[in-house]
Structure 1
């Protein structure tokens, strides 16, 4: 009788890949976790209980067939595991690295609820696809037949690239337009290398290009090319621009030199450190934390990226101000723990009130307390009268989140309907907008969200576009 490869959670404890020491991590921008060895990946995958109702799958935005590829991994059938994983996820190796598994699949694992420790789903997912690349199982897209229809995608982030992948596999002619010089969006320039090494993103871009996707880079819609011009070139257009407009700080001194946007700081670091680009603002010190007392304002994952990047750049001190407590912060608790290990200090229940000096030399910090719940049920922070202090700072990084740019104005498209938050109004699942043949996906519809949700939106929208094409073809044939 064959040995049972699954249900090992009773005898085998949860184990993550080895994590490099904080001292090692502070010195470079490489990923902090090692790779699972084959035996360890099989052992950890074998902890899955193969439950009848897989909450890990239902709480995954992509509804990945997690129990299936865990079982295949435990049985040593890695190529099949990769194929199952790839069937529902355009970028499984990226999701395995940067998804907040503690809030999604792993956070809803049945054996976790029973006290045995969750299956390390993310680490196994990363291992499967990294192995697939090493073994040559990941091949360029080869459609069974080319189709005449053409789709223009504005934005080369995860939503746009996921849509491009699905459409190109169906044989559609796809052109991706992006304002940057490299595709990938925030995966390339927003997320630091210690969470997502850039060759991982670049090889996916190369795979898409080798499969026939055309990239038009350094292309700013509304300036380099008009939106109407893109519509005229293609049978359908998908807007996947993401949200890049940073929420701003208020208060006296908020416009001083030395107060910078998170996106500018992270982009400069990624360009200079990970790609070796010439970045004057980085080299001059304007967007470089080296030798500085750094204060980061915000409590999301972007703030965590900023504090951990500052540590690696050689800041003399790094402090993070967040207006709520640890339990109520939006960022990943795993990221907070990693930041603390690396030397970041968190000042909970604090908010900036004013800024001193120009260039800035201190933040006037207001102490807060949690009051009555707001409309979402979270307790609202409120200031404690008379409780404030000065926090010395040479560099202040604003990581307060992102908002949508005013696309109708930028593109001269009054007919493109938006919500009161400035995001594009789009039909659920299909992504259809108020303009005929124009769709929208990802953060420009949802607001700032997760990479995995952008992938889901891109894939769903691509299927809707294909259905539209097929319907039009059927009518034309009658």
Structure 2
């Protein structure tokens, strides 16, 4: 009887791909993890317990068939593993790199709960898809039949691109409108190269373009083209703009020079990585070199900022967060990576104000955690008389993102929004209050993860296919 290739978790320890030394990775924007070798990928995949109720799968927003492709990897059937992986996920090589697996699939792995250390799901997913690209298993988009219906997608982030991929494969004519000069949204300009190297995103953009998706870039809806014009051009429209309005800081001195938004800072850095001319970087405004940097916030965007500042050669980098480490919304893996690279975390601290016309320091209030609020999280409370000043030459606000007022920006009547400013859409079909107009991703659910945007984009695409199909049937009758 052939030996079972799985359930090796009792004898085989968890082993992540080798991580480059912190002193090395501080010097560049390359990804920090090496690739698995084939034997190592098989070995780590073989640790999966193939449990009857796979929590890894149920806690993945895309419900990826993780146990199946782990077993196929362990058996050396990599092409089949890739086919299973991409059946539910439009961009598995991106999710393998940037999903917070410690909060999703890996964090809910059954063998992790039993003390054996989680299966390294994300690293195996990345390995499978990178191998698929190298071996030519990732096929060009070639619809079996071309259809006349057209769909306009506003926003070239993960939600819009996932929908574009699905709609194009079904033969629809797809046009994507985006305000930036490259598609990819935050995957291109928000997430640093050390988490997601840009050729990985550009490769997918090219696949979509080669497959017949039309991109209209440097196109600001409401200025360069109206929403009504887009609606008139297409049989259906998907709004997938994401949320780009930064939450702001109040307090004395909050308008001082040297206090910048995380999105501006990260975009400038990513543009430099592409070789673009970035005047704000050259002038020093969005460059941390030689500066004492303070980042305010505790999410994944804050982690991207502190680790970018280290690589730009900052004199010191500190992260202020008003709760403690256990209550931080960002990935614990990212916090560990940042600490290894030289970032100092100042827990239970909040800004009260800023000194200097050009910022010289952050007035910090120390906090303690009080009683839980309605969500169950402990509420930070001020400790009276504990204020002090943290020296700073550059302060980066990474407090999260909110939706722009799209109905007002675009001059649209009848597009309903929620009290938070997000677009109101049906949670199954993603249909908005306007006929033939759908919305997906962060502009509906608020600032969230790439993997959720991919799920929303795929679901919205399916609903749009249903909608245009019914319209075509009615027209034929």
TM-score of the pair, normalised by structure 1: 0.99
Deviations 1:382-426 (A, max 9, x none): 111111101000000000000000000000013111011110000
**Aligned residue number for residue 149 of structure 1:** 149
Aligned to 1:327: 326
- 1:219 corresponds to which residue? 219
- Partner residue of 2:369? 370
Q: How far is the alpha carbon of 1:477 from its aligned partner?
A: 3.6
Cα deviation, 1:123-162, whole Å, max 9, x if unaligned, reads 0000000000011111210000001100000000000000
Q: Using the TM superposition, give the Cα deviation of residue 346 of structure 1 relative to its aligned residue in structure 2, in angstroms.
A: 0.3
- C-alpha deviation, 1:187, in angstroms: 0.2
Aligned-partner Cα distance in 2 for 1:171–1:28:
42
What is the SS of the residue equivalent to 1:252?
A: coil
Partner of residue 127, structure 2: 127
Map 1:72-221 → 2, pairs under 5 A = 72-221=72-221
- CA contact under 8 A between 1:429 and 1:457: conserved in structure 2? no
Give the CA deviation at 1:228: 0.2
**Greater shift in the superposed pair: 403-412 or 466-475:** 466-475
Following TM superposition, by how much is the alpha carbon of 1:467 offset from its aligned partner in structure 2, in angstroms?
1.0
In 2: Cα distance, 1:325 partner to 1:10 partner = 34
Is the 1:268–1:281 Cα contact (8 Å) retained in structure 2?
yes
Structure 1 partner of 2:389: 390
Cα distance in 1 for partners of 2:387, 2:344 equals: 18
**Distance of 1:258 and 1:36 partners within structure 2:** 41
Residue 436 of structure 1 aligns to a residue whose secondary structure is coil
Matches within 5 A, 1:445-456: 445-456=444-455
SS in 2 for 1:385: coil
State the 1:358 CA deviation. Answer: 1.2
Structure 2 CA distance for aligned equivalents of residues 316 and 120 of structure 1: 35
CA contact under 8 A between 2:436 and 2:467: conserved in structure 1?
no
CA distance in 2, matches of 1:118, 1:89: 21
SS in 2 for 1:386: coil
Task: Specify the SS of the correspondent of 2:384.
Answer: strand
Q: Is the 8 A contact 1:152 1:175 kept in 2?
A: yes
Equivalent residues of 2:236, 2:468 under 8 A apart: no
Determine helix, strand or coil for the equivalent of 2:215. Answer: strand
How far apart in 2 are the matches of 1:259 and 1:375? Answer: 32
RMSD (Å) for aligned C-alpha atoms: 0.7
Runs of 4+ displaced beyond 6 Å: none
**1:257-268 aligned within 5 A:** 257-268=257-268
CA–CA distance in structure 1, aligned partners of residues 238 and 9 of structure 2:
44
Q: Does 1:343 align with 2:342?
A: yes
User: Is residue 16–residue 123 contact of structure 2 (8 Å, CA) maintained in 1?
Assistant: yes
Post-superposition shift, 1:429? Answer: 2.2
Q: State which drifts further: 387-396 or 374-383.
A: 374-383
Aligned length: 477
Separation in structure 1 between the aligned mates of residue 327 and residue 7 of structure 2, nearest angstrom: 34
Match of 1:380 in 2: 379
Question: Shift of the alpha carbon at 1:474?
Answer: 2.9
Describe the SS at the equivalent of 1:366: strand
For structure 1, which segment, 124-133 or 462-471, has the greater mean C-alpha deviation from structure 2 after superposition?
Answer: 462-471
User: Which residue does 2:465 correspond to in 1?
Assistant: 466
Alignment of 1:28-107 (within 5 A): 28-107=28-107
CA distance in 2, matches of 1:164, 1:2: 44
